[in-house]
Structure 1
Amino acid sequence: MADAGAMEMAVEAAAFARERRAGRPPRSRMALYLLLGFSAGLPFYMFNATLLFRLTRHGVDIVTVGFFAWVALLPAFKFAWAPLLDRYAVPGFARFWGRRRGWIMLAQLGIAASLGAMAATASDRSLPLTALFATLLAFWTTTLEVAADAWRIELAPTAAAQGPLVAANLWGYRSAMVAASGGAIWLSTLGGGDSWGLAYAAIAVIAFLPFPILAAMPPTGEGGGRGVALATGLAASGTALLASGGIAAAIGWAGLRLAVAAGVSAKTNVTIPVLVLALAPFAALAALLPAIRRLAADAPARRSAAIGPYVDLFWSYGFQTLPVLAFVSIYRMGDVMALTLSHPLFNALGYAPAAVGVADSWVTIPASMAGVALGGWLGARAPLGRTLAVGAAMSAVSNWAFAWLARAPVGEPALYGAMAVDQFGHGFAGAVFVIYLSLLVNPRFPGAQYAFLSGFAFLLPRLLAGASGAMAQRWGYDGFFALTGAMSLAAVLLLPVAIRARPRADA
């Protein structure tokens, strides 16, 4: 299957190269990544900002809402299962549509099923059930991203080639993300009552729409009958969905029992223990860095299916890895923190759900797409270091817009203005950042290494996001967003070192 996957990637990459040599924009690839971005972006807000808004509307206290932000920590650990996507294939789907597309189709089934379960439990009477289905939604959304990111890096190994694909992918991702949020909030207001079940069910249906489009595509794997491949893939997917649900439920049940036994409650400060546990695997690799640097080029640790991609990253960049990881860990700080408490801020200020729905759709979609377009264009043509610096400044201003909103007189123009600034700035920074991370990875391990770097990029922000409710309670929303904007701007201090990082010559 590895040889078949390599052949599949070679064919795709050759077609992509021919398009570029012919002077034509890679329209087919851009359309594909617009679709994949839409597929991944659609469910993202549904386990993040929209869910937090839903919980606040149901009277859940702000500290507990902050704990739910830790569901978004799961993507930070996608490196734990990313090597599986490089090593194994989904039966049926992969044989006909290829390994990468097979995983994407399985992930879409998981996304639709998880959203359906969240619709069925939309009353939030059982917060453990809400947390379980939100975690499953985060898992399958992240799995889709891992497969799509690996495919993109294999198809486009240079900054010039990455620019159009990244822009198309983020157009789909961010527009679907904010449209789903605005659409879900608007649907929740229908009938004059609490219609969150309808909102999540509608997003589940829309999230499933790309599946038949992918299933109708011509074969890219070893061929065989489309009907047999589809039936086999659906059977394998059903088994995978049941297994993932059972494993998540068992882990969640055990975690809750341990938390209760330890006396953890909504009033307990668990930020430091969670921080220590989450950083442990990364700290272990950093501690082993001197030994990793001394490994031979053909050392077994570098060839291991489980840890090889991550050992290779530290082996290739050496001590440069540390400032690179520090840079990526704070660059997107503002984006994550703004996402966590922006909607609770709107609720606290008294904005109606209908106004928030308009802000999340008609205002933010064009602003986000404009930011992504400019970021992708400059990232492919201008010096990357300068563009990253501009992105950090824009991310800071985006958060400061919410600090201003917290003190401004309540009015829809103020809300729409703050949201437009936020989405434009974070769209620009996001596009440039994806290009930067994509150029750091070894083409031998595109899925796993990109998963590691992009996961670590959001680890510290999402850890802090779990304590965001307590922070806002202490300093107020204006103080909270002023601080997180300053954190984003601090990335510029590490940029001169991070942008010069190069892999060793014998890598």
Structure 2
Amino acid sequence: MTDTPESPSRSWRDSLLIYLHPRVASMAFLGFSAGLPYMLVFSTLTAWLTEAGVTKASIGFFSWIGITYSVKVFWAPVVDRFQLPLLGRLLGRRRSWMLFAQLLIAGGLIGMSVTDPVGELEWIAIFALVVAFGSATQDVAIDAWRIEAVSLERQAAMSATYVFSYRLAVLMASAGALHMVSFATWPGVYLIMALLMGVGMVTVLLSSEPTVTGHSDAAFLEQRAQDYLERSAHVARPVRNAVAWFIGAVVCPFVDFLQRYGAQAVLLLLIVGAFRITDISMASMAMPFYLETGYTRADVANISGLYGAAMTVLGGIVGGVLVPRFGLLRVLLAGAVLAAATNLLYSINALVGAELWMLVLTISGENFCGGLAMASLIAWMSSLVSSDYTATQYALFSSLMTLPGKVIGGFSGIVVEQVGFFWFFIYAGGLGVPAILLVLWLMLRTRTGSL
């Protein structure tokens, strides 16, 4: 990728035509495959277990399955470096891992569909864990394929397309599944979802493997693993091979990142960690705010759910158009500012009260700006990774992206109890200021040639 984050060069027409690129179109179907399993091991599964009469205590333990998505960085090096036998030779490294993960997901969903949640709850948990592991692995492989498949200027369009189809799949696996239960059984619904994973499988088979060129710096790092093998002939071969693989697959990706960016690596990681604090930290208080303000569940479901998802998709699409037109860092800065500022709409809503027009305005602002911000953030993070260690480095970024917000968000209820919703959302907006300042600092260093 030779484009620079600050190199807008396309007309509006050319920016829009990016969405017709074959690999951008393929991203729509891969995003659907990525989004489909997520709700099937969370809220949709809890609905099935509740209706089956499983105790709340048992259902609560199923939330631990979600940890799988947060620790995918630990096996991302395997996805990055290990080529699957047979499938790897037929499809290439990225596509083989995507197909393998999709087969795991479909197999886990089929397993859940033939299992009794009351008499065989432990098997439901095992199959759900298989689905979650396959889903997280698919995320790693799809992210790597997305970054390697197109140039930097198309990354925002790729991420916007991904967000659109991912959201569509989430609706299918949540609201769609709940509607299906009215004319089918829960096992039947999960079997249908397993069949829908065929969308991603067909896309993988019809897509092409990205061509990636190695870099000399990575080759130098890989030589360190070879040096270790030559210096440790006295160590048992299995141990030597394992240590050498660890150096090449785990140590080298992080050393490569630090060597390429030097001291600036700290700034880049700070931006990744700070960018989404403002929206993640307030997310758990959004639903209590809606209900305590006086909105009905139907209002929240229709406006925050369906309409909000549409606005997120629209924001992502607009972000995908703006990046090639104005440059990545400018759109990233706009996303950081808008994500923080839209919290103020919630504060205004707290003063106005349960007015539907105000809820529409609030959801429109938050979700549209959030979609735009995410499209630019994903594209920017994609520009940071090395093609030699795509999966490992991006998995690090995606894990770091959510961690600080989740930690701070754990205290959101305490803040609301102390100061109320009006001041809480102002506080949440203020949490976005560090990200804005960090992006401005990055832009300044980029323009002065310090980065």
TM-score (norm 2): 0.71
Deviations 1:291-350 (A, max 9, x none): xxxx98954499622221112112221221112111111101233335444345445556
Contact 1:118/1:197, CA 8 A, preserved across alignment: no
Unaligned 5+ segments in structure 2 are 1-13, 211-219, 226-243
Aligned pairs for 1:316-395 (under 5 A) are 316-343=260-287, 345-346=289-290, 353-359=297-303, 362-395=306-339
Contact 2:173/2:193, CA 8 A, preserved across alignment: no
Question: For residue 133 of structure 2, what is the amino acid of its counterpart?
Answer: F
Deviations 1:219-269 (A, max 9, x none): 869xxxxxxxxxxxxxxxxxxxxxxxxxxxxxxxxxxxxxxxxxxxxxxxx
- Equivalent residue for 2:165, pick from 165, 172, 196: 172
Which whole-Å CA distance do the structure 1 matches of 2:343 and 2:127 have between them?
A: 30
- Show the counterpart of 1:439: 383
Given the superposition, is the C-alpha separation of residues 25 and 362 from structure 1 closer, same or farther in structure 2, using an over 3 Å criterion? closer
Given the superposition, is the C-alpha separation of residues 133 and 394 from structure 1 closer, same or farther in structure 2, using an over 3 Å criterion? farther
Which whole-Å CA distance do the structure 2 matches of 1:97 and 1:418 have between them?
A: 46
Given the superposition, is the C-alpha separation of residues 148 and 206 from structure 1 closer, same or farther in structure 2, using an over 3 Å criterion? same
Deviations 1:347-380 (A, max 9, x none): 5556555444423554124312220111111222
Could you say what the CA RMSD is over the residues aligned between the two structures, in angstroms? 4.6
TM-fit CA distance, 1:104: 1.5
Contact 1:72/1:462, CA 8 A, preserved across alignment: no
Contact 1:78/1:142, CA 8 A, preserved across alignment: yes
TM-fit CA distance, 1:384: 2.7
Q: Does 1:141 align with 2:85?
A: no
- Show the counterpart of 2:366: 422
Deviations 1:18-50 (A, max 9, x none): xx9xx9865321121111112223344555677
Q: Does 1:97 align with 2:41?
A: no
Q: Does 1:85 align with 2:79?
A: yes
- Show the counterpart of 2:441: 497
Given the superposition, is the C-alpha separation of residues 500 and 358 from structure 1 closer, same or farther in structure 2, using an over 3 Å criterion? same
TM-fit CA distance, 1:199: 10
Report how many aligned residue pairs link the two structures.
402
TM-fit CA distance, 1:390: 1.1
Unaligned 5+ segments in structure 1 are 1-19, 222-294
- Equivalent residue for 1:309, pick from 253, 257, 263: 253
Question: What SS class does the counterpart of residue 97 from structure 2 fall into?
Answer: helix
Contact 2:18/2:157, CA 8 A, preserved across alignment: no
TM-fit CA distance, 1:443: 1.8
- Equivalent residue for 1:208, pick from 186, 190, 197: 197
Given the superposition, is the C-alpha separation of residues 323 and 468 from structure 1 closer, same or farther in structure 2, using an over 3 Å criterion? same
Which whole-Å CA distance do the structure 2 matches of 1:343 and 1:307 have between them?
A: 42
Contact 1:111/1:140, CA 8 A, preserved across alignment: yes
Which whole-Å CA distance do the structure 1 matches of 2:272 and 2:207 have between them?
A: 38
Question: For residue 265 of structure 2, what is the amino acid of its counterpart?
Answer: T
Contact 2:66/2:132, CA 8 A, preserved across alignment: yes
Given the superposition, is the C-alpha separation of residues 68 and 198 from structure 1 closer, same or farther in structure 2, using an over 3 Å criterion? closer
Which whole-Å CA distance do the structure 1 matches of 2:120 and 2:352 have between them?
A: 36
Q: Does 1:464 align with 2:395?
A: no
Question: For residue 164 of structure 2, what is the amino acid of its counterpart?
Answer: W
Contact 2:49/2:117, CA 8 A, preserved across alignment: no
Contact 2:347/2:421, CA 8 A, preserved across alignment: yes
Q: Does 1:107 align with 2:101?
A: yes
Which whole-Å CA distance do the structure 2 matches of 1:83 and 1:338 have between them?
A: 32
TM-fit CA distance, 1:440: 1.0
Given the superposition, is the C-alpha separation of residues 436 and 219 from structure 1 closer, same or farther in structure 2, using an over 3 Å criterion? closer
Question: What SS class does the counterpart of residue 442 from structure 1 fall into?
Answer: coil
Given the superposition, is the C-alpha separation of residues 455 and 165 from structure 1 closer, same or farther in structure 2, using an over 3 Å criterion? same
Contact 1:42/1:173, CA 8 A, preserved across alignment: yes
Aligned pairs for 1:274-285 (under 5 A) are none
Which whole-Å CA distance do the structure 2 matches of 1:88 and 1:37 have between them?
A: 23
Question: For residue 396 of structure 2, what is the amino acid of its counterpart?
Answer: F
Question: What SS class does the counterpart of residue 389 from structure 1 fall into?
Answer: helix
Aligned pairs for 1:3-42 (under 5 A) are 27-42=21-36
Deviations 1:114-157 (A, max 9, x none): 56778899999999999877765543332212111111221224
Question: For residue 26 of structure 2, what is the amino acid of its counterpart?
Answer: L
Which whole-Å CA distance do the structure 2 matches of 1:410 and 1:471 have between them?
A: 22
TM-fit CA distance, 1:107: 2.2
Which whole-Å CA distance do the structure 2 matches of 1:206 and 1:50 have between them?
A: 17
Contact 1:85/1:147, CA 8 A, preserved across alignment: yes
Question: For residue 335 of structure 2, what is the amino acid of its counterpart?
Answer: G
Question: What SS class does the counterpart of residue 304 from structure 1 fall into?
Answer: helix
Q: Does 1:163 align with 2:156?
A: yes
Given the superposition, is the C-alpha separation of residues 96 and 468 from structure 1 closer, same or farther in structure 2, using an over 3 Å criterion? farther
Which whole-Å CA distance do the structure 2 matches of 1:51 and 1:487 have between them?
A: 33
